[in-house]
């Protein structure tokens, strides 16, 4: 419930970015096979890509919220598998707290809301199933779950080697009131069984690795993340540095902390240190606590080893940290910390839960609206950024689907003024092709349309910052008339400019296109100012500010009119307002210098 509450309001399940690569293949808009990256140059993950997207494509495109609901159920199932594995010898509360460890993290929300994150969710789901089966010493089902985890994501490969060492149903109990019958032995004390399991797991992993390498080399040129790193300094970084980077960031992500140090980090680490110190004191002073620690020690060691083994492969992604990738590692960290603190006193585990909930609650929620610029904090793909991308794709998709249920073959759609670093979310041309199931469709950037306005296009999608409706459609002929009007202003053809701007206004059917209409009216104010029609120019400038308060030209017109009227303070205030939007505009800077010079002369 805390996880869902902290994700509330985000367009969960909406496809973005890599989703369109995979959907493009799943819908057979481009060629794909079981032995390639399914639209990606990186990695071979047939279960979480080929199988998942082929089955889920209709749901992803038609009912994305149901995808999020399914991911929520699968995440709960993963926690349930781990709980049942621990519950054999742990008390219910401690088993539940350890199993919930991956649930209360900023990054886990990405697993709920992004179809492509099934690569990590699937690995977590099948890894916990493998742990559950291993804890009950069921070898065939353990190996089957292990194969499924590896076919979802290769990050499970090192952790898989720890499956033979899962403390089994006969292992020492943890916590007061633990249940279970039979002699208190562990997997570590059954050499023959351990050797059998180790051999079976090693054979399974080796077979998977050989098949993976065969696919990578012969069936599609599969590559690894480090091969695509362009920065020489990052590419040449040593493995010890990368490993430390992976382990440190995995630990930070488990506590909902961003990769970069931030305010509040010290308080969290101090609180955790206090919990560990209190536990150490109880072990030093209490015989019963030491006995419980001895019984829990296999779990502490196993959980720590799992964390290290699952986090270490993430060094391959250096230097781009995406926190949700570490969810599999957080599983082991939760087991180790819960076993250690729970041996000292159950209340210490409660303190750990409170600490993690506070840290989780302090992480950014989904943005209420889209801003022009992306967040300046966090990682390159955390939940806040994912929700921002999903708002863009959902807004554009719904708008196009409402006004254009079908598009003709080879149609082009112009995109204008999209928020910074969101074009990536559309996956190139693949988003519009997937939406309409037509590989001939394509986007056109506004800069290209500006150079070639004669190009036939269906519509112009325009971003509207600071509005309830943040996307609008502009009629292509209306945009062409606006461009002709702007060119006429640049050529000092004021009458022609007014004619073209009037035509642009009349051709635009959607009157909620506030950025476009505000631009038209503000350009009209510029032309009227140059014609000396000051009253009309001020009226138009003020109207444009009502339509689109952030428009640049209206502030410039009002500043110029105030300057000519000798109202210098008002002129400078208008210029300061527009320069806050575009600090480098030469015309505004020159006019402000003239205003300041005039004010200085007036003061003397």
Average per-residue pLDDT for the chain: 87
Give the 3-state DSSP-derived string for 64-108, with helices as H, strands as E and coil as C: HHHHHHHHHHHHHHHHHHHHHHHHCCECHHHHHHHHCHHHCCCCH
Tens digits of residue pLDDT in 313-355: 888 888 888 899 999 999 999 999 999 999 999 899 999 999 9
What whole-number distance in Å separates Cα of residue 497 and Cα of residue 376? Answer: 40
Tens digits of residue pLDDT in 378-436: 677 788 888 889 999 999 999 999 999 999 999 999 999 988 888 888 988 999 999 99
pTM of the model: 0.87
Confidence of residue 176 (pLDDT cuts 50, 70, 90): very low
Question: At residue 131, does pLDDT exceed 90?
Answer: yes
Query: What pLDDT does 181 receive?
Result: 40
Q: Determine which helix (DSSP H) or strand (DSSP E) holds 256, and give its type and residue range.
A: none
Question: At residue 219, does pLDDT exceed 70?
Answer: no
Query: What pLDDT does 2 receive?
Result: 72
DSSP readout, 360-426?
HHHS----SS--SSPPSSS-TTSHHHHHHHHHHHHHHHHHHHHH-SS--TT-EEEEESPPTT-GGGG
Q: Which residue has the higher pLDDT, 467 or 598?
A: 598
Q: List residues bridging with 90 in a β-sheet.
A: 174
Query: What pLDDT does 174 receive?
Result: 57
Confidence of residue 186 (pLDDT cuts 50, 70, 90): very low
Question: At residue 467, does pLDDT exceed 80?
Answer: no
- Give the range among 60-74, 164-178, 304-318 with minimum mean pLDDT: 164-178
Query: What pLDDT does 237 receive?
Result: 74
Question: At residue 229, does pLDDT exceed 50?
Answer: yes
Tens digits of residue pLDDT in 85-125: 998 888 899 999 999 988 888 888 999 999 999 999 999 99
Q: Mean pLDDT over residues 171-186, rounded?
A: 46
Length of the chain: 604
């Amino acid at each position: 419930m805390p996880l869902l509450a902290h994700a509330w309001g985000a367009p969960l399940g909406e496809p973005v970015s890599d989703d369109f690569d995979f959907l493009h293949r799943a819908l057979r808009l481009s060629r794909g096979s079981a032995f390639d990256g399914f639209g990606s140059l990186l990695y071979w993950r047939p279960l979480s890509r080929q199988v998942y997207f082929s089955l889920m494509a209709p749901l992803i495109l038609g009912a994305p919220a149901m995808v999020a609901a399914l991911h929520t159920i699968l995440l709960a199932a993963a926690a349930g598998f781990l709980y049942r594995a621990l519950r054999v010898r742990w008390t219910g509360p401690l088993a539940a707290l350890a199993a919930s460890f991956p649930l209360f993290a900023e990054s886990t929300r990405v697993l709920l809301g992004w179809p492509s994150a099934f690569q990590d969710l699937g690995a977590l789901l099948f890894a916990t199933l493998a742990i559950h089966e291993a804890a009950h010493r069921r070898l065939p089902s353990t190996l089957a779950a292990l194969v499924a985890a590896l076919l979802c994501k290769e990050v499970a490969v090192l952790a898989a080697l720890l499956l033979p060492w899962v403390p089994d149903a006969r292992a020492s109990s943890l916590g007061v009131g633990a249940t279970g019958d039979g002699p208190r032995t562990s997997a570590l004390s059954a050499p023959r069984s351990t050797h059998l399991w180790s051999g079976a797991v090693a054979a399974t992993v080796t077979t998977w690795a050989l098949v993976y390498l065969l696919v990578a080399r012969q069936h599609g040129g599969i590559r690894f993340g480090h091969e695509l790193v362009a920065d020489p300094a990052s590419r040449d970084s040593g493995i010890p540095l990368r490993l430390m980077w992976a382990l440190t960031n995995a630990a930070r992500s488990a506590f909902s902390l961003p990769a970069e140090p931030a305010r509040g980090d010290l308080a969290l680490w101090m609180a955790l240190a206090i919990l560990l110190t209190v536990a150490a004191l109880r072990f030093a002073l209490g015989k019963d606590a030491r006995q419980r620690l001895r019984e829990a020690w296999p779990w502490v060691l196993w959980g720590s080893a799992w964390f290290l083994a699952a986090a270490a492969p993430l060094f391959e992604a250096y230097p781009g940290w995406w926190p949700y990738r570490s969810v599999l590692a957080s599983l082991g960290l939760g087991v180790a910390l819960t076993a250690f603190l729970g041996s000292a006193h159950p209340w210490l585990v409660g303190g750990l839960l409170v600490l993690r909930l506070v840290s989780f609650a302090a992480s950014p929620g989904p943005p209420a609206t889209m801003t022009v610029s992306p967040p300046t904090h966090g990682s390159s793909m955390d939940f806040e950024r994912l929700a921002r991308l999903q708002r863009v794709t959902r807004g554009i998709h719904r708008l196009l689907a409402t006004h254009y249920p079908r598009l003709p073959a080879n149609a082009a759609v112009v995109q204008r003024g999209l928020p910074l670093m969101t074009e990536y979310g559309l996956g190139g041309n693949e988003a519009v092709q997937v939406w309409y199931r037509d590989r001939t469709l394509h986007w056109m950037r506004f800069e290209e349309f500006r150079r070639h306005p004669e190009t036939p296009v269906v519509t112009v999608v325009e971003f509207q910052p600071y509005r309830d409706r943040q996307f609008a459609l502009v009629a292509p002929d209306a945009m062409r008339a606006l461009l002709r009007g702007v060119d006429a202003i640049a050529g000092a053809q004021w009458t022609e400019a007014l004619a073209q701007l009037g035509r642009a206004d009349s051709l635009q059917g959607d009157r909620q296109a506030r950025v476009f209409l505000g631009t038209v009216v503000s350009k009209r104010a510029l032309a009227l100012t140059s014609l000396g029609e000051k009253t009309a120019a001020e009226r138009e400038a003020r109207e444009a500010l009502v339509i689109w308060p952030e428009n640049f030209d209206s502030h410039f017109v009002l500043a110029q009119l105030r300057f000519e009227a000798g109202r210098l303070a008002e002129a400078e205030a208008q210029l300061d307002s527009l320069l806050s939007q575009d600090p480098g505009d030469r015309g505004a800077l020159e006019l402000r210098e003239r205003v300041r010079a005039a004010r200085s002369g007036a003061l003397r």
